[in-house]
Amino acid sequence: MKNFLILLCLLFSSAIFAETALYTTDTLKPKTASDIKSALENFTKNYPDKNILFYVHGRSKTFDSEYESSMEMEKEYNVKVIMLRWNSWLSPIQRPVNNAKKASQLLSDSLEELNNLKMNRPELFANRKLLFLSHSMGNITLKNYIENFDSSNLERNLFDSMVLSGADVPFREHDKWLTRVEFTSKLSVVVNHNDIILKASTMLDFPDLNFRDDRLGLGFGLDRDGVFSRHSAANATYIDLTKVNKTGHRHFLSKRSDVRYLYHYLFLETTEAFKLPFKKKDNLITILKD
């Protein structure tokens, strides 16, 4: 009933959620980084067995679509979501790149706060994982943060797992910034050659020389002989869904059980051996059909 009432409010008030802020599914009240402590205290009290997922969403027209995605992830995975909401829509033929970059300030503030809490309030993280998911253009926010903010004081294992999904950033020279992500020991990049959204994104940005390139989330070039080692980040594992997923962009909400299983695995919900068939070359894992 509570979620129904919140969604009803969203139908009439999406316009008020245009500014960059943090949100949880328990309230529509926008939060700053300083509010993360109270959110985690609420999670500890009411959801002690849930992991914590910090989520940076991609290009999206309305707040309610991302709010619903957060709720769906909470139902599918053993997580409570802290969503970094940013002004992610201009028009059907425009990509809000600058808005995504501006959100890096809140990302920086949030990571600093999480880092401080993990050092000084360890009970808020007891028996639970701290996870990170950046989707689509949310990876522009992450990229800009790495390139323009100081992350050197963050704990090396701040996040138990970080997942870059459908990354709408250039493939070219992505290793230069991705190798600087040093606050997790488990960094995964999920790609799919069939991602039609990323193919369209590439066409929209063709006049922009800074973005005139295949997208990282498409993964073209990763499996070409002789070039992989020169273009990949040594600290990341690349996971290719091309052979099992012929469509889709929000892979973490895929209708395919094998793709959802992958994200359960990346979100560290199981310690069992990986069940899906795959082949591995260097740090590229290609998921195969049964």
Q: For 8-58, what is each residue's pLDDT tens digit?
A: 444 444 444 457 999 999 988 999 999 999 999 999 999 999 999 999 999
Given this structure, which CATH class describes domain 2-287? Answer: alpha beta
| Predicted pLDDT of residue 116 | 98
Looking at the predicted structure, is the pLDDT value of residue 227 above 80? no
**Rounded to an integer, what distance in angstroms lies between the CA atom of residue 49 and that of residue 55?**
19
DSSP at 40: H
Q: What number is the average pLDDT over the span 69-78?
A: 97
Whether residue 209 is predicted with pLDDT greater than 60 in this model: the reply is no
What number is the average pLDDT over the span 101-111? 98
Q: Are strands 51-56 and 79-85 parallel, antiparallel or unpaired?
A: parallel
How many whole angstroms separate alpha carbon 40 and alpha carbon 35? 9
Angle of helix 63-76 versus helix 2-13 axis, rounded to 10:
160
As a whole number, mean pLDDT of residues 276-287 equals: 93
- C-alpha radius of gyration, the chain, whole number: 18
The proportion of the chain whose per-residue pLDDT surpasses 90, expressed as a percent, equals 72
- Encode pLDDT of 165-203 as tens digits: 999 999 989 999 999 999 999 999 999 999 999 988 888
Cα torsion for 139, 116, 155, 253, to the nearest 10°?
-30
The domains of the chain are located at 2-287
User: What's phi and psi for 32, nearest 5 deg?
Assistant: -100, 175
- Per-residue pLDDT band for 211 (boundaries 50, 70, 90) equals low
Q: What size, in residues, is the chain?
A: 290
Q: Are strands 130-135 and 79-85 parallel, antiparallel or unpaired?
A: unpaired
- Per-chain mean pLDDT for the chain: 89
Alpha-carbon distance of 118 to 133, in angstroms, equals 18
The pLDDT tens digits of the residues spanning 230-274 come to: 678 999 999 999 999 988 899 999 999 999 999 999 999 988 899
